[in-house]
Amino acid sequence: MDALYAGGVVTILICLFLGLGVWIFAGLFLVAAASLVVVLGMDVDRVGTIAASISYRYAASWELAAVPMFIWMGEIIFRTNLSDRLFLGLVPFVDKIPGRLLHTNVLGCTLFASVSGSSAATTATVGKITMTELMRRGYDRRLAIGSLAGAGSFGLLIPPSIVMIVYGILAEVSVSRLFAAGVFPGLLMAALFSGWIIVRGLFDPGIAPRGEQHFGPRDYLLAIGNLSPVFILMAMVLGSIYTGIATPSEAAAVGVLGAVILALTTGQVGLTFFQETLLATIRTSCMVCIILVSAAFLSTAMGYLHLPQQIGNAIAALDLGPYTMILLLSVAYLILGIFLDGVAIIVMSLPVTLPLAVGAGFDPVWFGVFLVLMVEIGLLTPPIGINLFVLQGLTSQSLMEVSRSALPFFFLMCLGTLLLVLFPDIALWLPRFLYG
């Protein structure tokens, strides 16, 4: 079969269906089915049988059970006063650092990401309290918006991450290893962001007004008490995974239990509360799971067409070095990030890019972290950057103004990705230490 012909048909079908505004899951299903019929002349009944088999296999996946549970945990936390407590808990510890309360965006997102798994939820939850306070106290608007836009993306990288679960299922890679691999890259990004705020604060103290409040030992104890719910949830979820007590799916259930207990302590639990969290969880979970199933069908169709192998052979014939390969993939993902959301990028590209990366000598766990970082960068690129839209709603600024504010953090994320490429043990050391 002519790879150029098959690839052209698939590309045209993708542009046609997604360009017409068809829902992503439906578009992927239609592209897969039409490709098998048009290119291979496959019987429609056989295409239906393949689709049904793939749908059942992935819908019944035990690993996929973690998705709705982690989403539910995030929805419960989103409706509590956790963001208020995070802000109050962080204030005493960052007050003496150059940039002062601007660090609450970075540290707040880092901590909340460890119990959320969603970028949009992290940005919205942390931003709804920090942006109000930072603007009221006279902090630099652009730096406040930009730091939140960048740090909000940590919800995809710092475990538990819904996107990492999706990657793990599609790539058949251990989700526990992926979670462990995301820890140090997430901390590296947080350090880069806070480092930039410190540098800005040293050269331009006006970005952060001088504080008038003085904190004593009692204030620090109260701050630790405000931060303790997040640390307890982190210990319950991640501790149970890394110690081997629970699988990611079981740990997700533990996380839901912890989130419910946290909500009970705030007195916010009621029938309406549970209805809202369950309905939101069902909507988001159905979206993620059905896209995952349709992507698996598309991946299977591409396997029948032998496209990944033929594209891989064609690129291998160019005899590119591993760093040139990863540079080309980075450029391709940056372009995709302008037009598509993170889950769509992963499910559509993985059948082609994963074999190329593995063939170039990159570890599939490392590539998962690299891919998540590229998706995070896409969150800061208009016109589809989800974090930009969230911040536009929070701040009432134009999309262009929000994009300009996020630009320094876009470059910092590119720098962090470069460091990950040059020093892969940033991602691989912890999973190797924990699991051998």
Report d(CA 357, CA 329) in Å as an integer. Answer: 9
Q: What is the pLDDT of residues 46-99, one digit of tens each?
A: 888 888 887 777 666 676 777 788 888 878 877 777 777 888 888 888 888 898
Average pLDDT, the chain: 82
Q: pLDDT tens for residues 213-229?
A: 678 888 889 989 888 88
CB 263 within 8 A of CB 79: yes
Residue written as token pair 């109260």: 222
Taking 70 as the threshold, does the pLDDT of residue 423 lie above it?
yes
pLDDT at res. 186:
92
Q: How confident is the model at residue 197 (pLDDT cuts 50, 70, 90)?
A: very high
Categorize the per-residue pLDDT at 415 as very low, low, confident or very high, splitting at 50, 70 and 90. very high
Determine the structural domain holding residue 43 and report its residue range: 3-435
Q: Taking 90 as the threshold, does the pLDDT of residue 426 lie above it? A: yes
Q: Give the residue among 277, 250, 268 at the shortest CA–CA distance from 76.
A: 277
Tell me which of 257 and 346 has the higher pLDDT. 257
Poorest-pLDDT segment among 120-129, 177-186, 305-314: 305-314
pTM for the predicted model, two decimal places:
0.80
Say how far apart CA 429 and CA 413 lie, in whole Å. Answer: 20
Provide the number of structural domains found in the chain: 1
In one letter, which amino acid is 98? P
Q: Rounded to the nearest 10 degrees, how much is the dihedral formed by the CA atoms of 48, 339, 335, 112?
A: -100
Upper half-sphere CA count for residue 277 (Cβ side, 13 Å): 24
The answer, yes or no, to whether residue 339 has pLDDT greater than 70, is no
pLDDT beyond 60 at 130: yes
Among 192, 106, 199, 197, residue whose Cα is nearest residue 153:
106
Per-residue pLDDT band at 366 (split at 50, 70, 90): very high
SS3 assignment, position 267: coil
